[in-house]
């Protein structure tokens, strides 16, 4: 079977839309076992700016990483039946930026991700991860609604 892509990245945050995106990626991967799946989650550590500088509590960081790790372990179990090569990856930083950088650095052929579904006004002021990835990605982006 001829594959259109060999590496698919799926940003995952445990939301319903990211679960749908993962299911879609699995369906595509099942068509050709040469397709590799990268499931990524991005940990965005909140920082507080105080009079004395930027404060980032190690316990907060650890809690975020533990949550991400638990989520990815559940995903690994779901992926264990696939003959495809799969990776679960935790990144840290701004989710939109980190997803785009990951795809550039890892030769991703396709990103499959959920949309946040912001209203027009919210999107205008806040933007969205999926919008940024669609605009900045070097590869095609499949947005699941």
Indicate the burial class of 51 (C-beta count within 10 angstroms; 0-12, 13-18, 19 or more): exposed
pLDDT tens-digit readout, 102-141: 999 999 999 999 987 555 555 555 458 998 999 999 999 9
Proportion of the chain above pLDDT 70, given as a percent: 82
Helix, strand, coil shares, percent, the chain, to 5: 45, 25, 30
| Domains along the chain with CATH numbers | 7-144 (3.40.50.620)
Task: Summarize pLDDT for 66-77 with one digit per residue, the tens.
Answer: 999 999 999 999
Q: With the C-alpha atoms ordered 2, 10, 124, 55, is the resulting torsion angle positive or negative?
A: negative
- Taking each helix axis as running N to C, give the angle between helix 58-79 and helix 16-30, from 0 to 180 degrees, rounded to the nearest 10: 40
């Amino acid at each position: 079977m001829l594959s259109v892509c060999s590496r698919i990245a799926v940003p995952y945050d445990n939301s319903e839309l990211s679960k749908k995106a993962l299911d879609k990626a699995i369906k595509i991967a099942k068509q050709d076992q040469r397709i590799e799946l990268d499931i990524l989650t991005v940990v965005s550590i909140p920082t507080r700016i105080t009079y004395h500088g930027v404060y980032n509590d190690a316990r907060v960081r650890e809690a975020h990483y533990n949550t991400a790790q638990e989520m990815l372990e559940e995903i690994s179990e779901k992926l264990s039946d696939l003959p495809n090569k799969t990776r679960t990856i935790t990144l840290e930083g701004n989710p939109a930026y980190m997803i785009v950088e990951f795809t550039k650095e890892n030769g991703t052929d396709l990103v499959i991700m959920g949309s946040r579904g912001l209203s027009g006004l919210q999107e205008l002021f806040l933007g969205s991860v999926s919008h940024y990835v669609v605009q900045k990605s070097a590869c095609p982006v499949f947005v699941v609604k």
